[in-house]
Amino acid sequence: MKFFIDTADIPEIEKLIPSGLIDGVTTNPSLIAKSGKDMGETIKTICSIVSGPVSAEVTATEYNKMLEEGEYLASLAQNVAVKVPLTPAGLQTCKALREKDIMVNVTLCFSAAQALLAAKVGATFISPFVGRLDDIGEKGMDLISDIVIMYENYGFDTEVLVASVRNTQHLIDAAVIGAHVSTLPPKVIHELYKHPLTDKGLKAFLDDWAKTGQQILPK
């Protein structure tokens, strides 16, 4: 499974890159607004430090303007994946951009029917939102399972990019199901390392080693 980081916080991205865990980045208008920086410059900077796909979202809602915005965003860097909403105009834009060999991330997916439409128009990624489905009493992971099975049945190339991930269990469940990508807020990535038995075991090893008075490296 590929890990994308869901943020427009450049220092946070720079901090995580040396871990070797980051395969791409997803942003959206809310994250860009939170950063307080210019969208174009932010996307350019992120694309210069991340080699994988960087999702940049259009804000228009009608086709012609959406396509214009998508082409502009794609011109910022070769690794931009234009993010469009799962609407008729968004899917039409997806098809047009894919015909130009531009990566497209179709976002705000909440049903298998919507995911099927995105795959039919050649989306590079489909982003189902598990956390938001959980919030309204539905099982977000059931949707991920349905989409993975459906795509495998027909050999679609569209990758399932699990979004609205709230905790580490969401990630593990998605990985077990076989989703291709999860986009994670930085806090979830940091939580993946943590287990009390790891901390306890490391402390015991170090305490025992300290009692020997030895050191591994020669003096």
From the candidates 34, 37, 65, 83, which is the catalytic residue?
Answer: 83
Which residue, chain included where needed, has tokens 């396509």?
67
Say how far apart CA 208 and CA 202 lie, in whole Å.
10
Say what angle helices 88-99 and 112-120 make with each other, to 10 degrees.
Answer: 30
User: 148 near 160, Cβ under 8 Å?
Assistant: yes
Active site residue 100: no
H-type helices in the chain, by residue range? 10-16, 29-35, 39-49, 63-75, 88-99, 112-120, 130-135, 140-154, 168-177, 186-191, 196-212
User: 112 near 150, Cβ under 8 Å?
Assistant: yes
Give the Cβ contact number of residue 186 at 10 Å: 15
Say how far apart CA 202 and CA 204 lie, in whole Å.
5
Which residue, chain included where needed, has tokens 């990630």?
171
Distance of CA 184 to the CA centre of its chain: 6
Say how far apart CA 194 and CA 204 lie, in whole Å.
17
Residues serving a catalytic function are 83
